[in-house]
Every structure is written in C-alpha cells, then in structure tokens.
C-alpha cells in the first residue's frame, strides 16, 4: 500500500498521526551511527515485547531499504525533489525562497501589478533591498519625503494643542493666557530653541512638489526627485530631528495650518499607507535572507526617540540584527551604506514600521496565520481558520524602540521577563488564540472586524503574495507546503503582511500553541492524504480559498 513515511526534525505529532493510520516509518540514521544502531537492534530483538512500539520498530527495520512515499522534513534541501519518484509526497516546493525570505517577498511584491490587480501598498509596508543601488536611493528618497509629511503632521498636532489651550478659561493665579492671534500660534515648549521659521515652509514645498508628481503634473518633464528639489537635506533632517524627536519649538501660522490640513488630506488620497505610518518616521532593518526572528535583535537605546545607536555613537563592527530606528544616517551606518559601496544584493532590507498598530491593553501584537499550498498550477490554497497572537513583553511606545516593545517573535520575547506593569489581562506566556482576539474585539465594540476586515484582508494578501511568485516556485505534483504568514493590524483593523515563513515552528511555546500546532498538523494530513483519496472527507480547520 506504499504506506512508508520519513520524518526529519521535531515533529512528534506527524509521526504519531501517521503511525496511527497504519503507516510505517523509515527512520533516518545519523552519520557514524550504523554500528551503534545495529547493536541496539540486536538488544531489542532479544527482549522485544508485543506492544505497538516494539512491533513498529521491527517493521521500521524491515523497510529501511525501501522508498518512503511520504516525506516530512524541516529542511527543503534534505531531499532533492528532482530525484523523487512521481508518487512520493514531500512537504516542500523548490525555490519558495522567492516569497519566504524578506528579500524575495520585497522583490516579488514590487512586480505584483504584472500578475494581479492588487496594490501591494495596501497590505505590505514599503520595503527596499539596501543591497540594490537603485532601491537604496529610492529608500533615501522615501525617508526624506516621509520626514516632510511627518513634520506637517507634528506641526498640525501642536497647533491644534496650542489652540486648545487658548480656549481654556483662565484660572486665578495662572498668569496671562496664550495669545489667540490666529496667524501666529505658539506651539508647545520644548527643551530646545525654536526651529528655523523656514523649516515648515520647506516641508510644505516638498510635499506640494511630491503631490504634483503623484498627480502626474510632471508628465511632460523629468520626474521630480527630492534630491533635485534644491533642498539641503542634511540641514533639513537635522532641523526635523530637533522638532520631531527632540521637542524643539515650532511656529505655525494659521495659513500654514490650513495648508498642512489640505496637503495631508490630498496626500492621503494618493498614499494608501499614510494611515499607518504615524509621524515619527520609524523604519525597521532586517536581514534579507532570514525569517522567524532568526536575525538576532539588537538592543536599542532607551532615551529620546529610542533609536540605536545613540547619536554620536558608532555602530558595532559586528553586523546588526533586527533594528528599529528613526534616523537615516544611523540606519545607513549600521549596514555600511554611508559613504560606502552598496552591499551585496539581498543582505539587508529596510521596511516602513507600522507606527499606528492596533494595540491590546496598550501592548503590540502580531498574528501567525497558517495556509497550505497543495498545487501551484492550478494554484490551490487552503487557509486555516485558527491562528494565534504573540504579544510583546513591554507596553508600546515610539519613544523607546527596544525589542521588548516592538518585536513580537517568540524567539525574541522569550529573552525578556514580563514587565512589572504588564496588563494583568494578558497571559504570562504572551500568547492568545484568535478566538480570544474576537472576544476582545466584541467587548470593545468591533465584533464584526475579524470576519469582515481582518480575515478577508489576510486572505487577499496571501493570495497576492502567491500570485507574485507563482511563475518562479518549482511546481511538483505530489508536493505540498505549510506556511506561516505574520500579520500586524492597523488601528483600523486592516492587516499588514510582514513576512511569510517556510517550515513554521510547531514547537509548543504555550497552552494555546500546543493545542493549535497539533490541530494544524492533524488537519494538514487530512488535506494532503485523506482529501486526495476522498474529496468529500473533512479537512478540519482548512478552508479552500483558491483553486484556479
């Protein structure tokens, strides 16, 4: 019946489920253990019992020279798919790195409009490969434009705060009220001197030019780039940092306030990511070829904006890991781009950080969402109904960009103990199920958000990512692969895809993941074994969302 399987890696659930179905395991032999194994087998035969384990061990020895017809491994390279027989089933596709690495996903989603009507800017934060010279220049341009927009947001916010204070009735002993002159409203005092009066005017000019470029007003002339706009960017960014990150005063006239409002509204109509980008201009640097938090997180400073390294401190000679920063020169120094040749392609990617995430009790979280591909032509995708949340161990703050507040990976958060002020409503293991999230949303007046906004958005993002890579992944009939997509949600509950992982971890890190990881493995076997033989059988928690 060809019921011989091989499992490589920590997958006791898969091994147990297959054995319960009557399959026999062909076990891996580590190098140099052949003689040791033979001696163990001899001892087992002398004292064999009639229990199931002993019988299965005997059967495993009998099939050790046979071909396994079901292969589950945590490494795609463990088997050469080109050498597999047509009736062998393996849980990997070749060349899936085109969307399961940060570098590959960044590159392929850029080409998505060629394959799909979806706009990647509506579900994937802007991302650039710093090893590519053109993309490095595009990132620097994006950082500058985002800084100009951020300055407009901060100016508008401070002007509104100042106006709010002038409207408060004066209490005895408070002194003179703040001037109500509408065309010159003092902004909140900061530790530094008042910024140059031309700074906001320059930011307005930059945003107006950018808006004109977006509206194709420059169609008959060269495309406008910020570095061609006559701006002294070094000085502009220094003044911008003083205002946005160091609290320097900024004077805003009534006319400027109106222009800020109009420009930001018009830019929002052109830029889908303005709702999540905030006003701190934070970006996250990641190793391009790694996933699941494998790029070791670097601790970041606690003061000021929290960016690492602190101003005036040179980066370590060792490569950085995952880093959040709000200063362009620091980021370029970290990866050696400042005044140096471009890095090797694919080494680092930089992505816009979601500054306005949906928070639960003031804490950031992301969602691990599984999906299963059983064919690439026609593209056949199954979406799992259950998922789990991973919380940070510190409350969210953009003034402190340390890993404990901003990186939700279990492999990173397990280094930290929960803070003394961690909300008591969150579990000590920092994991929730998607059912707990739905309950929380219902309690906060957003009962429909999960089924009407979050899940449909995640499905659409997954399918768009797969469409962008469909022509590059090695399709093999008989193969399948389970993936883990990581999402974060904006304040409006819209999902933002962060990355897609091959071989998502099945190690139980909590009571929730212990239950869900066992369930998704059980249901994966239902789809790839049972459903192939009987299309009417149950597929558990998997829902077919695409079969072209």
For 53-60, the CB contacts below 8 A with 24+ separation are 56/19, 56/24, 56/25, 59/24, 60/24, 60/25, 60/26, 60/27
Q: Is 405 left (phi over 0), alpha (psi -120 to 50) or beta?
A: alpha
**For residue range 334-360, what is the model confidence (pLDDT) as tens digits?**
887 655 444 454 589 999 999 999 999
Residue 506: other Cβ atoms inside 10 A: 21
pLDDT on residue 76:
62
pLDDT on residue 528:
96
pLDDT on residue 64:
79
pLDDT on residue 414:
77
Residue recorded with tokens 């998607």: 434
On whether both 256 and 120 belong to a single domain, the answer is no
On whether both 12 and 106 belong to a single domain, the answer is no
Residue recorded with tokens 């087998």: 41
- Does 35 reside within a domain? no
CA dihedral angle for residue 319, residue 322, residue 326, residue 330, rounded to 10 degrees: 0
**For residue range 98-139, what is the model confidence (pLDDT) as tens digits?**
999 999 999 999 989 888 888 999 999 999 999 889 999 999
On whether both 431 and 524 belong to a single domain, the answer is yes
On whether both 101 and 64 belong to a single domain, the answer is no
The number of distinct structural domains making up the chain is: 3
In degrees, rounded to 5, the angle at the alpha carbon of residue 510 between the alpha carbons of residues 506 and 512 is 85
On whether both 67 and 102 belong to a single domain, the answer is no
On whether both 382 and 262 belong to a single domain, the answer is no
Across residues 392-398, what is the average pLDDT?
A: 91
On whether both 113 and 145 belong to a single domain, the answer is no
Q: Is the pLDDT of residue 432 over 80?
A: yes
On whether both 366 and 507 belong to a single domain, the answer is yes
pLDDT on residue 32:
46
On whether both 381 and 504 belong to a single domain, the answer is yes
Residue 59 pLDDT level (bands cut at 50, 70, 90): confident
**Read out DSSP for 26-52?**
-----TT-HHHHHHHHHHHHHT--SSH
Which of residues 28 and 181 earns the better pLDDT score? Answer: 28
- Does 388 reside within a domain? yes
- Does 415 reside within a domain? yes
On whether both 514 and 416 belong to a single domain, the answer is yes
- Does 60 reside within a domain? yes
Closest CA to 206 of 238, 233, 240, 229: 229
- Does 451 reside within a domain? yes
Which of residues 436 and 345 earns the better pLDDT score? Answer: 436
Are 214 and 269 within 8 A, CB to CB?
no
Are 501 and 100 within 8 A, CB to CB?
yes
- Does 317 reside within a domain? no
What phi and psi values does residue 366 have, to the nearest 5 degrees? -130, 175
Residue 65 pLDDT level (bands cut at 50, 70, 90): confident
Across residues 426-442, what is the average pLDDT?
A: 95
CA-to-CA distance for 270 and 522, rounded, in angstroms?
A: 45
The structure tokens listed for 85 are 């027989």
270, 299, 320 - which closes a domain: 270
**For residue range 508-527, what is the model confidence (pLDDT) as tens digits?**
889 999 999 999 999 999 99
**For residue range 212-226, what is the model confidence (pLDDT) as tens digits?**
998 775 444 444 455
On whether both 57 and 110 belong to a single domain, the answer is no
Closest CA to 357 of 480, 489, 181: 489
pLDDT on residue 154:
95
On whether both 106 and 158 belong to a single domain, the answer is no
Residue 197 pLDDT level (bands cut at 50, 70, 90): low
pLDDT on residue 288:
81
Q: What is the residue-averaged pLDDT of the chain?
A: 82
CA-to-CA distance for 234 and 239, rounded, in angstroms?
A: 9
- Does 379 reside within a domain? yes
**Read out DSSP for 111-162?**
TGGGT-S--GGGTS--EEETTSHHHHHHHHHHHHHHHHHHHHHHHHHHHHHH
Q: 189: Cβ–Cβ under 8 A, 6 or more apart, which residues?
A: 249
CA-to-CA distance for 462 and 472, rounded, in angstroms?
A: 16
25, β-bridge pairs: 5
Strand order in the sheet with 323-325: 127-129, 348-352, 283-287, 323-325
- Please tell me which of 29-43, 207-221, 298-312 the model is most confident about, judged by mean pLDDT: 207-221
pTM of the entire predicted model: 0.85
- Does 526 reside within a domain? yes
pLDDT on residue 74:
83
pLDDT on residue 314:
35
Range of the domain at 59: 1-29+50-72
pLDDT on residue 82:
64
The structure tokens listed for 46 are 């002398």
CA-to-CA distance for 428 and 516, rounded, in angstroms?
A: 18
Are 323 and 388 within 8 A, CB to CB?
no
pLDDT on residue 517:
97
């Amino acid at each position: 019946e060809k019921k011989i399987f091989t499992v490589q890696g920590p997958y006791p659930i898969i091994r147990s489920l297959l054995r319960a179905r009557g399959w026999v395991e062909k076990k891996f032999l580590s190098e140099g253990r052949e003689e040791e194994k033979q001696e163990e087998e001899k001892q087992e035969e002398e004292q064999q019992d009639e229990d199931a384990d002993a019988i299965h061990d005997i059967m495993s020895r009998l099939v050790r020279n046979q071909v396994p017809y079901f292969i589950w491994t945590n490494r795609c390279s463990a088997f050469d798919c080109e050498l597999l027989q047509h009736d062998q089933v393996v849980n990997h596709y070749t060349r899936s790195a085109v969307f399961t690495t940060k570098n590959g996903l960044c590159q392929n989603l850029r080409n998505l409009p060629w394959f799909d009507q979806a706009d990647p800017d509506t579900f994937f934060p802007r991302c650039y490969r710093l090893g590519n010279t053109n993309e490095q220049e595009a990132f620097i341009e994006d950082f500058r434009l985002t800084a100009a927009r951020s300055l407009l947001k901060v100016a508008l916010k401070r002007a509104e705060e100042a106006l709010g204070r002038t409207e408060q009735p004066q209490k005895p002993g408070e002194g003179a009220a703040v001037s109500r002159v509408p065309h010159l409203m003092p902004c909140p005092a900061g530790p530094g001197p008042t910024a140059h009066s031309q700074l906001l005017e320059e930011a307005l000019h930059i945003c107006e030019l950018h808006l004109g470029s977006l509206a194709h007003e420059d169609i008959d002339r060269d495309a406008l780039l910020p570095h061609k706009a006559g701006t002294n960017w070094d000085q502009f960014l220094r003044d911008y940092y003083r205002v946005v990150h160091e609290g320097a005063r900024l004077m805003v006239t009534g006319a400027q306030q109106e222009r800020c409002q109009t420009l930001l509204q018009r830019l929002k109509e052109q830029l889908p990511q303005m709702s999540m980008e905030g006003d701190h201009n934070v970006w996250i640097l990641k190793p391009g070829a790694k996933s699941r938090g494998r790029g070791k997180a670097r601790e970041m400073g606690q003061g000021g904006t929290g960016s690492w390294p602190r101003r005036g401190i040179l980066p370590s000679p060792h490569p950085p890991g995952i880093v959040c920063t709000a200063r362009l020169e620091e980021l370029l120094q970290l990866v050696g781009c400042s005044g140096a040749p471009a890095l090797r392609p694919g080494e680092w990617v930089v992505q816009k950080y979601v500054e306005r995430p949906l928070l639960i009790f003031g804490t950031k979280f992301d969602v691990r969402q599984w999906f299963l591909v059983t064919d690439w032509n026609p593209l056949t995708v199954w979406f799992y109904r259950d998922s789990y949340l991973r919380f940070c161990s510190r409350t969210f703050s953009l003034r402190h960009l340390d890993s404990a507040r901003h990186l939700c990976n279990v492999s990173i958060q397990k280094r930290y103990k929960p803070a003394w002020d961690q909300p008591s409503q969150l579990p000590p293991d920092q994991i929730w199920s998607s059912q707990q999230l739905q309950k929380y949303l219902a309690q906060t007046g957003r009962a429909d958000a999960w089924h009407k906004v979050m899940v449909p958005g995640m499905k659409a993002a997954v399918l768009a990512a797969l469409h962008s890579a469909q022509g590059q992944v090695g399709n093999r009939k008989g193969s399948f692969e389970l993936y883990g997509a990581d999402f974060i949600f904006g304040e409006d509950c819209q999902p933002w895809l962060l990355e897609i992982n091959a071989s998502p971890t099945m190690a139980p890190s909590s009571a929730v993941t212990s239950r869900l990881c066992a369930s998704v493995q059980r249901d994966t076997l239902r789809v790839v074994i049972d459903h192939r033989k009987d299309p009417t059988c149950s597929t558990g928690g998997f829902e077919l969302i695409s079969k072209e």
